Amino acid sequence: MSKRLSGRLVIATHNRGKLWEMQALLKPYGIEAVSAAELGLPEPEETGATFAANAELKARAAADAARLPALADDSGLCIDALGGAPGLLSARWAEIEPGGARDFANAIKKVEAAVAETGAAPPYRAHFISVLALAWPHGACDVFEGKVHGTLVFPPRGTKGFGYDPIFLSDGLTRTFGEMMMDEKQAIPADGSPALSHRARAFQAFSRACL
C-alpha cells in the first residue's frame, strides 16, 4: 500500500500549466507543493518507452535530488488517425528547436496538417492520457493513470487551457478543454464519478491511495 502524504511535495515539472493544475488539485489536502523549477532541479531526459516509465523517471530524479517525496506527470495526446501520435512526443512536437522553448499553437497546426495528410474523415478520434508517479527519496514509486476519450476540433477553440486543450473535445461535452476554467476542468466530483480531465482522473486514483 502507498504511504500517506503530508507536508511538502515536489511537483517534478518545469511546465507552469501542469504546476498550476497540480497545485489546485492538492490545495484541499493542505499539501505544500513546490516545483522542480523553483528548487533549481534540472529536467531529466525522458528516455522511457511508456508514459509510466517517463513519469517514474522524473519523479525519482526529483525525489532523490530534493530528498522529498515527488510527484511527476507524463501525459500526451494520442490521435487514432496518426497511430497514437504525437503520444509520448506530444511536448516535442511543440519545441521550436530541439530541447528549446515550446510553441503549442504551432504544434496544433502540425497536428491539423498531419491529420489532413492521412485523408481521414472527421470525427477525428483521440484520447488524452496522464500518468502520475509518486516517488519517495531513494524508495518506492507508485503510478496512477487517467484517460479521457474525445474528438479533435479545428480551428482551435478557447484560450483558458494549455497545450493541446483548445482542440480536444471530450465525449459528452460541448466545450473544449481550452474553453473551460481550470477549476471546472480539474474538479473532482464528490460522488466519486470520473473527473472531466485525464490529469484529474489520474489524481483521483492517486488521492485515494496517498492522501
Task: Read off the pTM.
Answer: 0.94
pLDDT of 75-93, one tens digit each? 999 999 999 999 999 999 9
Instruction: Catalogue all structural domains in the chain, each as residue range(s) with its CATH number.
Output: 8-210 (3.90.950.10)
Cα 37 to Cα 15, 34, 41, 114, 118, distances in angstroms: 9, 8, 6, 33, 38
Cα 182 to Cα 32, 160, 169, 178, 195, distances in angstroms: 19, 7, 15, 9, 12
pLDDT of 130-158, one tens digit each? 999 999 998 899 999 999 999 999 999 99
Q: Which of 23-27, 96-100, 123-127, 138-142 has the highest mean pLDDT?
A: 123-127
Yes or no: say if 111 and 94 are a contact pair by the CB < 8 Å rule. Answer: no
pLDDT of 65-74, one tens digit each? 999 999 999 9
How far apart, in whole angstroms, are the C-alpha atoms of residue 211 and residue 198?
A: 19
pLDDT at 162 over 50: yes
Q: What is the largest CA-CA distance in the chain?
A: 52
Beta pairing partners, 150? 126, 170
What is the grid cell recorded at 4? 500517506
Q: Known catalytic residues?
A: 74
